Structure 1
Amino acid sequence: MWAAYQGDALSVELLLKHGANPNTRDDAGLAPLHWAVVRGNKVCIRRLFEKGAEIHAKDNEGRTARDMAVELKSLGAWKRALEEGGFSEDGTKRKKPLSERNTKLAVFFVPTLFLYMMFTTLTILPWYTGMILAMAEFFGMHHIVTRVLLNKSTYTESVTSSPYFSGIIFGSMVWVGFAWVTRPLQQTESHAFAHLIFALSFGLCAYNFFRAMTLDPGTCPAPTSDAELKSIIEDLASEGRLNGQTFCIQCMARKPLRSKHCRICDKCVARSDHHCPWVWNCIGVNNHRQFIIFVTTLVIGIILFDYLTWAYFFSIEGTPALSPTCFLPASICNLSATDMFLFAVAAWATLQLIWTIVLLASQYLQIARQMTTLEVSNLGRYGFMGGRGGSLTTQMGHRHTHAHSLQGDSEDALSGEATPTGGHPHGHGHAHRHTSGCSTGFLMQLLGFDRFTSGKAANGLARAGHATNPFNVGIVGNCRDFWTRGRELGVEYERLYEVPVEGFREARRRHEREDGEENGIGRKGQGLRQKLLMGLGIGGPRRGGYEPVSQV
């Protein structure tokens, strides 16, 4: 009850996760739901709903939690908690038209159908009516996914946690491949080499897209027993380092360096980069390479597809009759009149090229600097790659930020500092921020640019080049470490808890010398011992600028 009154969503979630009764009462007959309404924190209210809190429970004065919400002017938070939790006004769970499995399948494949409808609409209708109808079809797709299949009236976390955006990528790949096979491939035989490279890029892109989507991103291990958990907590507490950076209260496990707890995936991810709705997965140590190959081949494939499309149009003899209503340059009007379906697919693919190039460039720059997107953001927000170690709220891997003060959870709200009226202070940024009140913010969130441009996070890019980084071993070494999953540093990121005093490079050399002096230890044993030593961080606890000194 005290956690609900304080608006401490982390503590409420933790207590409920470990069996706390959401319907317990105090002497006044108030349940935790009543106290959550007093504070006006919609996250606490939603968590209590999801764990079976009785919505019509009355206190000794006959007031329900909703009655108190009206009285205390926190009805907005109450309604949003019901909406985002999938509940109706009377507290009953809204039913989806399909089962959970079939809903995910439908959400994934619906964009493929609607993209075909949009491209076909542009083909059979004049541009001025085709554009309007195609836009209506796009919004119709969004409505069917959010309002019908997911049964959500607003853009919520459930949309980004669904395969909706990955379905858009899949549908785009399907129709790009279809357009290529049925048009340029049939008529531009003189560009055989370009076709070969495009086919290889397309195959690698599709393969690594599904690999990035289905691979475990690098789940951090959890204690196997209560005794092990107790030992971890006691050790961290005795060292004065029991904080949100070293321990995850959601997983109840020690957090490795460079890891992050993702609220969508509900797990700690080793060497976490960000949660990407376009691949419906977190990007971490296990699938980051596949993600990079996917984006790289996507960029190459789009460029080659545009080139082959251009060659196809120029291979067609004769000039089609141009529409007198086409106000675009004559060359573009000519292309659209020749084959509008191919032109529309190429234009759609080229639109994706703009943001994917920026994303790819930033990813390669971060790899060369041995940094992740999360660490660049932390560097700008807190001045340290590891974030603000003393705050348990900063360990959470996903946040909501809304344009209106009554439309979201701030970092303060999650930590128990929401205002009594339900309003929340502005301002915190994170990878993939939600901004329902601003279309620009919504677009930036979808494209992943918000983690570079939101608030102080933008400073991270400027500071990344000269920031102290204990993992940096030079451009070549950093790239080798990325593509070998930590072999260059000799670490296992899922179990990396300390940075050696002398640094990774010197520690590795020392371990190699020590292993070389010992007889009877083969190469396999040497590699295993090195991994164990580096994973445990033998040599000292100093983190060399990774986190504030006061948090070490």
Structure 2
Amino acid sequence: MAGGGPACKNHCHGAHRPHMHSCRGSHGNKDAPVLPGPPPVVEDPSICDIVKATQYGIIERCKELVEAGYDVRQPDKENVTLLHWAAINNRQELVKYYISKGAVVDQLGGDLNSTPLHWAIRQGHLAMVILLLKCGADPSLIDGEGFSSIHLAVLFQHMPIIAYLISKGQNIDATDLNGRTPLMLLAQKAIGPEPTRFLLKFNPSLNAVDNVQKNTALHWAITSGNTSAVDLLLEAGASLDIKNAKGETPLDLAYQSPDRFMLYMVKEEERTRSRRNSRLLKIIEKYEVILLLASSLALIWAVGYVMNLSSDSWLLKGGLLLLLLFGMALFVRQCVGLKNLRYLPTAFLLSSVFWMSTTCFFWLLPDVTNTTLEIPALFSVLGLLYYFYKTWRTDPGYVKTSEEERRESIATLAEAGCLDFRTFCTSCLVRKPLRSMHCLACDSCVARYDQHSLWIGRCIGVGNHRYYLLFLSFLTMTGACLLYGTLLYWSSHCATSYHQDGAWIYFTQITLCSPWVSYIFAIACFHVAWASLALTLQLYQIVFLGLTSHERVNLLTQRKSSKHPVSLRRTPYNLGCFQNLADFFQCGCFGMFKPNAVDWTKQYNLFHLAKEKNVHSV
């Protein structure tokens, strides 16, 4: 048994044998406890001894034997008490009863000299852990292997228990008898990145060393071949210069490892950190986004310039274009970090808008004899830039909490039995409001999350969703103005006609007539296509469904996998087309509608939303 005592191997007379499960942990304990659940059907429970009755949760039999004089503090022949058995089998009523009868909550027992709290943690019984702590259990006590409660929770990778223990004041850097912190144990033994990523959210010490080998968590991760932990520790900023008792740095250990990929990661991180010491590279890193935008502007101009060359050799032009693309890729790789690489599409969009506007105002509009195109073009460009800025700068609705509020939230959710991934974000360590989502790119939970926009480089949520919709509208208008102006330009400057010469000749002639205008026309077509499609989908979701893009995709996925039909329109968020619009834009339409003001950063239940829906339906 993980708790250090034997399991029930005999059964009450006439009882069915319960299902057993192995609880081999990192310590190799072989016995298994009786799983918690309803008491078994027995012919005569009166003949069960108190240990068996405790394991199966037969409360009346346990009370009968205790009232008859059985001492609840009395250990069995393997030094295991009734409180241990009740804790490992998650018998909460019996734990309360035994403690009320004088059971010692921190009694050590079993092969591993563990407390009932240790037994409950090994099995992952969060409710039992909460109960024992409320009854005065000391989580700092160590078992026979030198582990305290938080070390056991980490070893068995019970994340909710880890969060609850820390919320109750347990030190994230508590050491075992060998001086190892929970982070060191995870680096040494964890399987997969999630446990380590979760623990790093609590800001443990990255460079603490153990008492024996003087290893940091990074030393332990490399020695154990834990590639995912190495990657996370390097990203978090673990030191590469600390030497252990043998005088070895993490890089020295990486050279000794048979894992070549791990060696590459450590060497690449060392190279990256050494580059940051360069004054020039520090300046480049500070202005990476500006450099990315400038290089994108130059690339779009250079591609158009090459296409506009008078040379008829397409082989030469093709070679120059490949050279430009190669140079851009090399620049991005050398000068732009991974953090800012996500802004590459944003830089392309802004560069496109700049050259589209330049072409429109200096190439196309001078040929237009009236102001029917000039005013809409100027208006659409200004609107596009303004709403791009508003979408970029406005807080999309990040769920923000203080450290104290996080701890209180974890404790409250755990004690309410709601500390799971549906209500709790293990990345932000916050209670998730309704309609929120954790964005991996922004590393934050966003209220009424719609998407992480590829072109804006920001999350779209409750705070900036309206601005994003207007941005799409003005981008579509800007592209449409340029397309119309280009058609007027071709009709007056190119000696060809679509109706007389046919599609192919017309296409080749207008391309040769002005390659730059044709090139900008193609870019405008691309932006008009995706922007108009995105705008149409957004309006459909907002007006007719009352949903975000993320919610609609989730419901469509459920519809495919569910046996029962899932309706996109029958949701608590759909209050009718006009009310949906009024709520989205927070506009009463001259008093015809009353918009519902909902703070989606703090909305956790559907009660009043359903009430609002019923009112509107009536």
Task: Give the TM-score, by structure 2 length.
Answer: 0.60
Name the structure 2 match of 1:204: 383
Q: Deviations over 1:26-65 (max 9, x none)?
A: 4455432244346756553233224443336566677664
Does residue 76 of structure 1 match 2:261? yes
Name the structure 2 match of 1:343: 518
Does residue 189 of structure 1 match 2:369? yes
Q: Deviations over 1:364-399 (max 9, x none)?
A: 232231222222343355x39xxxxxxxxxxxxxxx
Q: Secondary structure at the match of 2:401?
A: coil
Distance 2:517 2:226 in 1: 50
Q: Secondary structure at the match of 1:189?
A: coil
Does residue 169 of structure 1 match 2:349? yes
Does residue 134 of structure 1 match 2:321? yes
Work out which of the two has the higher radius of gyration on C-alpha atoms and give 1 or 2. 2
Tell me which of 221, 228, 233 is aligned to 1:48.
233
Does residue 25 of structure 1 match 2:214? no
Q: Deviations over 1:415-455 (max 9, x none)?
A: xxxxxxxxxxxxxxxxxxxxxxxxxxxxxxxxxxxxxxxxx
Name the structure 1 match of 2:486: 309
Higher mean C-alpha displacement, 26-35 vs 118-127: 26-35
Q: Secondary structure at the match of 2:470?
A: helix
User: Is the Cα–Cα contact under 8 Å of residues 284 and 335 in structure 2 kept in the other structure?
Assistant: no
Q: Secondary structure at the match of 1:243?
A: coil
Shift of 1:21: 1.9
User: What amino acid maps onto 1:261 in structure 2?
Assistant: H
Does residue 294 of structure 1 match 2:471? yes
Shift of 1:67: 6.2
Residues 498 and 58 of structure 1, relative CA distance in 2, 3 Å threshold: same
Name the structure 2 match of 1:101: 286
Name the structure 2 match of 1:354: 529
Name the structure 2 match of 1:547: none
Distance 2:360 2:463 in 1: 32
Q: Secondary structure at the match of 1:220?
A: coil
Name the structure 2 match of 1:3: 186
Q: Secondary structure at the match of 2:607?
A: coil
Name the structure 2 match of 1:482: 584
Name the structure 2 match of 1:233: 410
Identity among equivalent pairs (%): 24
Residues 75 and 48 of structure 1, relative CA distance in 2, 3 Å threshold: same
Q: Secondary structure at the match of 1:193?
A: coil
Name the structure 2 match of 1:147: 333
User: Is the Cα–Cα contact under 8 Å of residues 555 and 566 in structure 2 kept in the other structure?
Assistant: yes
- Structure scoring higher RCO (CA < 8 A, sep ≥ 6) equals 1
Q: Secondary structure at the match of 1:261?
A: strand
The within-5 A match list for 1:472-551 is: 472-484=574-586, 488-500=595-607, 503-506=610-613
Task: Give the TM-score, by structure 1 length.
Answer: 0.66
Shift of 1:491: 0.8
Does residue 330 of structure 1 match 2:505? yes
Name the structure 1 match of 2:10: none
Residues 126 and 206 of structure 1, relative CA distance in 2, 3 Å threshold: farther
Distance 1:17 1:298 in 2: 39
Shift of 1:141: 2.0
Higher mean C-alpha displacement, 176-185 vs 23-32: 23-32
Shift of 1:298: 1.5
Does residue 244 of structure 1 match 2:429? no
Distance 1:92 1:175 in 2: 34
Shift of 1:497: 1.3
User: What amino acid maps onto 2:186 in structure 1?
Assistant: A
Distance 2:611 2:547 in 1: 15
Name the structure 2 match of 1:159: 341
User: Is the Cα–Cα contact under 8 Å of residues 552 and 568 in structure 2 kept in the other structure?
Assistant: no
Residues 137 and 503 of structure 1, relative CA distance in 2, 3 Å threshold: same
Name the structure 1 match of 2:128: none
Count of paired positions: 417
Distance 1:279 1:45 in 2: 32
Q: Deviations over 1:332-379 (max 9, x none)?
A: 221122222111111122133333333333322322312222223433
Higher mean C-alpha displacement, 290-299 vs 306-315: 290-299
Residues 372 and 38 of structure 1, relative CA distance in 2, 3 Å threshold: farther
Distance 2:441 2:406 in 1: 24
The within-5 A match list for 1:396-411 is: none
User: Is the Cα–Cα contact under 8 Å of residues 229 and 252 in structure 1 kept in the other structure?
Assistant: yes
Distance 2:208 2:597 in 1: 51
Shift of 1:254: 2.3
User: Is the Cα–Cα contact under 8 Å of residues 273 and 372 in structure 1 kept in the other structure?
Assistant: yes
Distance 1:359 1:41 in 2: 42
Structure 2 gaps of 5+ residues are: 1-183, 498-502, 589-593
Name the structure 2 match of 1:180: 360
Q: Secondary structure at the match of 2:595?
A: coil
Shift of 1:215: 1.5
Shift of 1:494: 1.5
Shift of 1:168: 0.9
Distance 2:388 2:202 in 1: 36
Distance 1:91 1:3 in 2: 28
Distance 2:226 2:290 in 1: 33
Distance 1:94 1:7 in 2: 35
RMSD over aligned Cα, in angstroms?
Answer: 3.6
Does residue 378 of structure 1 match 2:565? no
Shift of 1:6: 1.2
Structure 1 gaps of 5+ residues are: 321-327, 385-455, 514-552
User: Is the Cα–Cα contact under 8 Å of residues 425 and 432 in structure 2 kept in the other structure?
Assistant: yes
User: Is the Cα–Cα contact under 8 Å of residues 251 and 267 in structure 2 kept in the other structure?
Assistant: no
